[in-house]
Amino acid sequence: MSDCLFCKIIDGSIPSTKIYEDDHVYAFTDISPVAKGHTLLIPKHHCQDLFEMPEEVARNLYAVAPKIANAIKAAFQPIGLNTINNNGAAAGQTVFHYHLHFIPRYDEKEGLGLIWQTQKYSAEQLAEVAESIKANL
């Protein structure tokens, strides 16, 4: 895609700090890291988000995820690491070429702050939700 920032990073017309590249994916440092080692992994095939991602692109992308996570772990010894992917502006997506964030965790005060509010669902409600999703697989 000619007007896509991350496609331009892949083709080298916009500079990036490359960490890894193969035939299918490209990994580079996030320009505004949330924590030391914050890395983005993207498919070379342009797709806007997870909803649009072909299965084979997903396979090739996630095949590399453990390698990236373990390299970050070995480099900086974080005490944890989140992988996060935002799909849609309402979910916080700002660059519309799929990317998987690798965000290392060092202590509770640094970096990523996740608000994770749980809700109470009965077994029947959970089953109803599951049926709705299953009907669309």
What are the catalytic residues? Answer: 99
Work out whether 13 is an interface residue with ligand AMP (CB under 6 A). Answer: no
φ/ψ of residue 87, rounded to 5: -120, 110
CB of 97 to ligand AMP, least distance (A): 9
89-118 footprint of Zn ion as x/- string (CB under 5 A): --------x---------------------
Q: Which does 30 bind (CB under 5 to 8 A by kind): ligand AMP, Zn ion, none?
A: ligand AMP
Position among 48, 82, 83, 93 found at the interface with ligand AMP (CB under 6 A): 93
- CA dist., res. 45 & res. 10, Å (int): 10
CA distances, 106 to each of 6, 39, 102, 111 (Å) = 28, 15, 13, 8
- CA dist., res. 103 & res. 66, Å (int): 13
